[in-house]
Amino acid sequence: MRGALRRLGVRVRHGGAADRPVQGWASLTDTELRVARLVAEGLTNRQAAARLFVSPRTISAHLRHIFGKLQIGSRVELVRTVAAGVPTVAGPDPGDLAAATHPFGIVNARDVVRAEPPTIGLPGDGDPGPWRRS
């Protein structure tokens, strides 16, 4: 199927570089901003991974990218940098965390980081759940 589309001149683009600078806060993706905030709050890679529903190795990879883009070398430097002011998801202004809006209704990255997943009853935990009759 892909070959037929290619012969017709159709090119499928998978991912690709966004129009971002190479370094600085504006170069970070939304996910990298979330990871930076979690780590700056003192969470371990494992804790941050659980919060974002990814693996600890994914958090580690994000941290490597963050360190390179911000030209820092440690978690301590990241904490200091975040304390100095992190821009919101929607803009590069580090001082205005409440003013940004996100296309999905998220006010800023801090809201995403602190959002807790919904809890549901699972079989065997005392809650019959929607799949069993009482």
Domain boundaries, the chain: 20-114
Query: What whole-number distance in Å separates Cα of residue 74 and Cα of residue 33?
Result: 16
Instruction: State if pTM tops 0.85.
Output: no
Burial level of 2, CB count in 10 A (0-12/13-18/19+)? exposed
Number of Cβ within 10 Å of residue 110's Cβ equals 18
Q: Identify the CATH assignment for 20-114 out of 1.10.10.10, 1.10.540.10, 3.40.250.10, 3.40.120.10.
A: 1.10.10.10
pLDDT in tens, 101-133: 444 444 444 444 444 444 555 555 555 555 555
List alpha helices for the chain, DSSP H.
Answer: 2-7, 30-40, 45-52, 56-70, 75-84, 109-114
pLDDT in tens, 69-86: 999 999 999 999 888 876
